[in-house]
Amino acid sequence: MITEIAKKGKCEGKRICIRFPFRVNSRKAEFVWNRLSSYENPWSDPPPALPPEVPGALRAEPSENPDWSGWDVLQLAILTIVSIIVFLLLSAIAAQRFLYPRLPFVEVVKYPLVTVMAQLLAYLLVLAFMVAVAKRVPGRKFWSAIRWSWPRKWQAYLVGGMVLSVGLQGIAHFLPMPRELPIDRFFQTAPEAWVLSIFGVTLAPLMEELFFRGFFYPVLVRRLGVVAAVVITAASFGLIHAPQLGRAWGPVLVVFVVGLALTITRAVTKSVAPGFLMHVAYNGTISVLIFVATDGFRHLEKLNQ
């Protein structure tokens, strides 16, 4: 410290004046002081700033994460069952009144064409509910929500469905198969055979793939993982066909294998469309084989020989 007494300038009139031999910039001094007086580490530089948090960087997204829940899938299943029953009764009432007035109502309900009509109306209602569920998110398109992506080599999936159908038909000969199945009543007349064949390669595989591989499977993957989801989806697919197959384990096992192949295709391709193509080809191959074996649906009695 340097003291000067009664000097000129700013020290004039003052008994003691303190002068520094250098000038101090107040802003720089404050900055340096703040750096040196850090509470955590007063004699070092402050710690480097943390990088900004990246959303989703520390959290792995599930492979399947649909916008709907298991309760929505359960509502779809209940709606399907209830709507089929209701439309079956309504279709039977209309058919008895306008087409079969002399037949008892119990017989009219069993008519294959009445059953197909009821399923057609029920599927349209269920499809509308599926669209409503998938489009809950504003701006979300239905086909993108259910992961419907048309494959480039779509012909390969048609061939795969044909090979699967022929191969399982060959394996079925080594399994205990009932001589008559409930589904055989759909092939009693040529019109019934045509209607079921067309229905089996259009709306039926579409709705089954939308429900099982589009809505049901991704919910299971999110909760249980891929392996469990594949097995449960395939088993459920086989069980809903059990009434048509007389609940015999042989044909139900065949349908389970079909469901297994379709669900694995869905898991690998991450899309519903390839499985739909395989499903169409599988059902179409069976219809073509029946068509050839019965001379164009003209001799359906050959199916029981």
pLDDT digits (tens, 9 = 90+) for 278-300: 999 999 999 999 999 999 999 88
Select from 145, 162, 184 the last residue of a domain.
145
Mean pLDDT of 93-101: 93
Same domain, 158 and 194: yes
pLDDT digits (tens, 9 = 90+) for 149-160: 999 999 999 999
pLDDT digits (tens, 9 = 90+) for 208-264: 999 999 999 999 999 999 999 999 999 999 999 999 988 899 999 999 999 999 999
Same domain, 178 and 234: yes
Mean pLDDT of 173-197: 90
Same domain, 152 and 252: yes
pTM for this one? Answer: 0.79
Instruction: Evaluate if residue 109 carries a pLDDT over 50.
Output: yes
Range of the domain at 92: 66-145
Select from 127, 145, 163 the last residue of a domain.
145
Query: What is the spatial distance between Cα 115 and Cα 92, in angstroms, rounded to a whole number?
Result: 8
Same domain, 200 and 116: no
In a domain, 127, yes or no: yes
pLDDT digits (tens, 9 = 90+) for 257-283: 999 999 999 999 999 999 999 999 999
